[in-house]
Structure 1
């Protein structure tokens, strides 16, 4: 995963507005248990593409891990606005 993290970081130097690369960077940070970097990457992905459902969902999960339940719920609600059938977001909103 370290190699992937470095590769995504290099791509982001060239394409800092690439939501998909930020999302994948976030997944690598998640796998490496780099929690703050994970959240930052998912936030950047959503900033670049507010309709990126997977990044929004992962952002919600990360916020929930940090105890930011209101912000997490907002992210899950946005996921459902884009994809009303997203079972993960629906489930997380019910958990509150």
Structure 2
């Protein structure tokens, strides 16, 4: 029996105690195999034990400096702890050591957004979407980055993709409203977007305020 595969399967099933036994045995039998420490770290992170998880990730890196998933694991925990600069460094190391999936690009992009560098985040969000076009969060953040750089037509197209795939995404409707009102001067279209956002989320203060402003603007045009 492959203890590593069995442990991963138990994790997917939410059977964390069984997974822990598998990974513990795997480490005992192969104490220099980095992947087992990485998977145990993932397990500890999943059950809410970040400090021990990070220790296991670092042990994996000590055994194999190219264990990219361990860098990613550390980066995710640092991000959750709002240590964004340190998280960014870890995600960059994960990327350099060969991790190449939508998650790594998305998380690296998010860290850049959190440290106030949305322009630098843009290519990472674009890549995240290219690798997983069904990732709604990545699509939305990519659209926000585009809007932040005033690439409005493309931002509108991406926000539209978001609401097509998730019709209850109030923030996407709100941002479409902002784009139509603030950049395209299409107030009627903006009103439709703000109204839809408020319909979905009645306490969406920004959308309600946008709706009020464009309603007054339309009255002045009459």
TM-score by length of 2: 0.38
Tell me the alpha carbon deviations over residues 27-50 of structure 1, each in whole angstroms, 9 at most, x when there is no partner. Answer: 111221122121111111122211
Cα distance change on mapping 1:52 and 1:84 into 2, 3 Å: closer
Tell me the C-alpha RMSD between the 2 structures: 2.2
> Quick one: higher RCO (CA 8 Å, sep 6+), 1 or 2?
1
After superposition, residues 1-96 of structure 1 pair within 5 angstroms as 1-83=16-98, 86-94=104-112, 95-96=114-115
Verify the 8 A CA contact 1:45 1:52 in the aligned structure 2: yes
Q: Which has the larger radius of gyration?
A: 2
- Once the 2 structures are TM-superposed, how far is the Cα of residue 84 of structure 1 from its aligned partner? 8.1
| Mean Cα deviation higher: 51-60 or 77-86 | 77-86
CA distance in 2, matches of 1:47, 1:63: 19
- Once the 2 structures are TM-superposed, how far is the Cα of residue 8 of structure 1 from its aligned partner? 0.9
Segments of 5+ residues of structure 2 without an aligned counterpart are 1-15, 116-222
- Once the 2 structures are TM-superposed, how far is the Cα of residue 10 of structure 1 from its aligned partner? 2.0
Verify the 8 A CA contact 2:68 2:99 in the aligned structure 1: no
| Mean Cα deviation higher: 43-52 or 69-78 | 69-78
Determine helix, strand or coil for the equivalent of 2:66: coil
- Once the 2 structures are TM-superposed, how far is the Cα of residue 89 of structure 1 from its aligned partner? 4.5
- Number of residue pairs the alignment of both structures matches: 96
Cα distance change on mapping 1:43 and 1:92 into 2, 3 Å: farther
TM-score by length of 1: 0.78
Cα distance change on mapping 1:47 and 1:7 into 2, 3 Å: same
Segments of 5+ residues of structure 1 without an aligned counterpart are none
Verify the 8 A CA contact 1:61 1:72 in the aligned structure 2: yes
- Once the 2 structures are TM-superposed, how far is the Cα of residue 7 of structure 1 from its aligned partner? 2.0
